[in-house]
Structures are given as structure tokens and as C-alpha cells.
Amino acid sequence: MQTVKMVVTGPFSAGKTQFIQSVSEIDVVATERRISSEEERSVKNATTVAMDFGRITVDEDLVLYLFGTPGQKRFDFMWEILSEGMLGFIVMVDSTRPETFREARSILETFRAYAPTPFVVAANKQDMDDAWELEDMGHALRLDKHTKLLPCVATDKDSVKTVLLELLYSILSEMEGK
Amino acid sequence: MALRGNLRDFTITQLLNLINLASKTGTLVIDGVSEQAHVSFREGKLAYARIGKEDGNLASVLYKSNKINANQYKAIIERAGQMSDKELGLLLINAGYVSREDILLNLQAYFTDQLRRLFTWVEGIFRFENEMLPPDDRINVRLDLENIIIEGSRQLRELEQLQDEIPTLDMALKFTERPLTNVNLSVDEWKVVKFVDPKNTMRQIGKTNKLSEVEIRRIVYGLLQAGLVELVRPADAPLPQSVRPLAPQEIEDKKTLVNKLIGRIRSL
């Protein structure tokens, strides 16, 4: 049995767990804990402290695992461990919370430094009225013109599928360039 | 859709950077602690700015910069009260008091000063209004933002914030496609620019120029903000063991695997 993995990363409360949940064939194995900080609790009640874990079986010989990283910086020691051997990664960003863009940039640069692995950026909550436009987000996140910035709604399975497919197309096209 | 937020999370230089790179037209409205600012842009270039009640009319700008004297200023206010700045400008040029260049240079300096004032604002709610343009009766300028952005970035001192912006110094820099012209760089900034090459990490550039980690981060941050450079993995960086180069057969196997994944995801 061969297993491959993709990592879903991004700031606190960007929608990583929901993203994985939308396509995983098993209930996401979440390592969530109640949030102690008052400020963070105003956003949500529980957060991922080690990793989320979802699974998509391709056939009897191949399984894709989706790993969600914890969003808070104090758990960043997990990031390098989770990134080892990944096929590619997705950076989730909440389009309605510009206060998290700086952290998203930082996470993106940190993951890029680990390995030259293909990645895409998913702009979550694009269905909300107060979502930033993709073009503005691209500049705010300092993405170059080759980086795919994709609209996403993490609760919508089709939207999540599109993001995963775009990452796989990037991986394929990188291999075809070799 | 919204381009709005809080200055605590998004600095003025970052906003200017975004407006510059996206070539935006419209007005940035900032509700500060005690004043409101309106800064207008056309295609990513500064057109007009005013803060609070100071409306920056042409007569007051020329008076403050000593281009007209107190008596002339008083006479203009009394006799040309209803005149637009454009009409007043023509009148002053035709009367030989000022030249067209005087007017543009002084307005540019005034609007730039207004922006500089905004660099000190750390609290405030901002929004960008695409439909809002400067008042019709005002003269607009057309000023590149790169130098103002670099100047504003120099004021970012907090190490923690710089580390957030540039988490590792082991990445390299390369020039973007934007031309490096008419940009006013300091000596230290030029020293860094000289070594911008995907082969050199920021750490190496800092060491070569005897810059501390904070100094190199601050300089690179300014260059990034102005859209002059971008971060890349160093050209000769060792790959992690898990990312060793693949043999041709392994590449084919991996392609087959990725195609299988694509088929499966499509069928979900």
C-alpha cells in the first residue's frame, strides 16, 4: 500500500479543518483543544494543536492523506515534521480577515523554505460580502504571478475539489518541466 | 467586494504597496483616532490627499511654501473664493506669479507630506472606495509611490513584526519585472541591491555588508514592499533528504500516481 500526503496550512481559524472535512472519506481525526485565550475564543471555541488528518482512498494500492497543521505560531514546531515528504501544500487564508494576511505570508515563506514543493493558495470564504477581492489578496500576500490563488469555500465540496485538483495540476506540470 | 480593515493589522505602507501593484483608482478613506484622511489615486499613482479639516486648497499650499505672500493669499481668499483650484492656477500662471511646475511641485510636496503624516497612524479603520475620486475643483498630481513606500518601510522598527514578514534569512532575492528607476535608495539599501541574486541568501548579503539581522530584514522589507524584489529559494540550496532528485523512471511513476489522484478527486 502506497500513501502520499498533502498538507493544508494557514493561520488560525482559516478553515483548514473544514477544508479537509469536506472531502475526507473518514471523519477528520482532529486533535482539537478548547481555546484558553479570550481573543482567540472570540473567533472559535476549539483549535487544532497537533494536526488534522483526513483520508481519500484512490484504489487498493494508493491512499492520499490530508494533514492540517495547527494555525497558531506556538505550534510551529509541528510544521516541519508535517511537511516532510509532502507532495504539495495548500495555504488557506480567510478572505474576510485581513488581520491574518501577515501571518499567512509568514507561514507561506516558512513552508517554501522547507522544500521546493508545489503549492497553491486558497482564499476561503469568498462567498462572504466582506471578502477581499482575489487580486487585492494576491498583492497583500505578496504572491508572484505564477502562484495560483484560488477562490474557495471550505464548506463546499466542489470548491475544495477544485483547489486540490489545481494543486495536482501544478505538481504534474512541474514534473513535466523536468 | 471589500478592501477594508484596521491599521493595526495592515500598515499604511502595505496599503500603498497594494494600491501601487494593483494600479488602483479610487480613494483610501481612513478613520483615525481623531481625524479622517482621504487619499486618492489614479492607476496606482498618488493624485490627491487631505487629512482632517485641512483641505489643501491651492492658495494655502502656495502660501505655506512661500510661493505667494500673505497679501496675495489674503487677496485670493477675498476675491477668488468661489474659484476652483484649476481656474485659480491658470489665473496665477497667466499673471506670472507662479509657473505650472511651481504648482505641481508644491502640490506633490504637500500631498507627500500628508502621506508621511499617515505613517505615524497605527490605529484606524480603512476602506478603499473605488468610485470616490478627488473633488472636481482640485488639481490632481500623478506621483509614483515607490519612494514613499520605501521611506515608510524604513520606519518599521519592531523586530517581531520584521520576523513575521521575513521569517527566515535563508531565502534569496531576485528582482521583479518592475524597473528599478527613479527610486531613492540609501547607501545600505544600494549595498543590498548590489547583491540581489538567486544565488545569495539574505543571510549572506547581510554578513557581506556587516548588517545585523534586524538591519537586513528592514532593508529587504522595504524593497519587498516597493515591489522591487521577491523572495525565492536559493539557486543552489541543498534539498531536504526527502526531496532528492528523481530518476526518469521515478518521474514517470510519480506522474502516473498524480494522474490517479486527479481521477479520484474528480470522481468525489
Q: Flag whether residue B264 sits within 8 Å of chain A, measured between CB atoms.
A: yes
Q: Flag whether residue B247 sits within 8 Å of chain A, measured between CB atoms.
A: no
The sign of the dihedral angle between the CA atoms of B49, B118, B131, B55 is: negative
Q: Looking at residue B200, what is its pLDDT? A: 93
**Every domain of chain A and the residues it spans:** 2-176
CATH node for B156-232: 1.10.10.10
CA dihedral of residues B164, B168, B172, B176 (deg, nearest 10): -10
Q: Mutation test of the interface with chain A: which of B203, B221, B260, B266, choosing the one with the most A Cβ atoms within 10 A?
A: B260
Residue A135 — very low, low, confident or very high, per pLDDT cuts 50/70/90? very high
CA dihedral of residues B83, B85, B89, B95 (deg, nearest 10): 20
Q: Looking at residue B256, what is its pLDDT? A: 92
> What pLDDT, in 10s, does the model give residues B210-256?
998 888 998 998 888 888 898 888 877 666 555 556 677 788 888 99
Q: Looking at residue B164, what is its pLDDT? A: 78
The yes-or-no verdict on residue B116 having pLDDT over 80 is yes
| Yes or no, beta carbons of A102 and B259 under 8 Å apart | no
Chain A closest CA to B54's CA: distance in Å? 30
The yes-or-no verdict on residue A9 having pLDDT over 60 is yes
The sign of the dihedral angle between the CA atoms of B17, B21, B23, B25 is: negative
Residue B259's contacts (CB-CB under 8 Å, 6 or more residues apart) are A172
The sign of the dihedral angle between the CA atoms of B71, B77, B80, B85 is: positive
Q: Looking at residue B179, what is its pLDDT? A: 67
Q: Flag whether residue A132 sits within 8 Å of chain B, measured between CB atoms.
A: yes
Q: Flag whether residue B167 sits within 8 Å of chain A, measured between CB atoms.
A: yes
Q: Flag whether residue B265 sits within 8 Å of chain A, measured between CB atoms.
A: yes
Q: Looking at residue A43, what is its pLDDT? A: 61
Q: Looking at residue B153, what is its pLDDT? A: 79
> What pLDDT, in 10s, does the model give residues A68-80?
887 656 566 677 7
Residue B104 — very low, low, confident or very high, per pLDDT cuts 50/70/90? very high
Q: Mutation test of the interface with chain B: which of A63, A109, A120, A134, choosing the one with the most B Cβ atoms within 10 A?
A: A109
Beta strands across the sheet bearing B26-31: B4-6, B125-129, B26-31, B36-42, B45-51
> What pLDDT, in 10s, does the model give residues B163-199?
878 888 989 999 987 766 677 888 889 899 999 999 9
Q: What CATH number does domain A2-176 carry, 3.40.50.300, 3.40.50.150, 2.40.30.270, 3.40.250.10?
A: 3.40.50.300
**Every domain of chain B and the residues it spans:** 4-143, 156-232
Query: Which residue spans within A69-105 are E strands per DSSP?
Result: 88-94
Given a contact cutoff of 8 angstroms between Cβ atoms, the answer to whether B194 and B138 are in contact is no
Q: Taking CB atoms and an 8 Å cutoff, what residues of chain A touch B41?
A: none
- Partner residue facing A139 (CB), from B22, B165, B240: B22
| Yes or no, beta carbons of A58 and B261 under 8 Å apart | yes
> What pLDDT, in 10s, does the model give residues A166-178?
999 999 998 887 6
Rounded-to-integer distance, Cα A4 and Cα A11, Å: 24
| Mean pLDDT confidence for B8-24 | 89
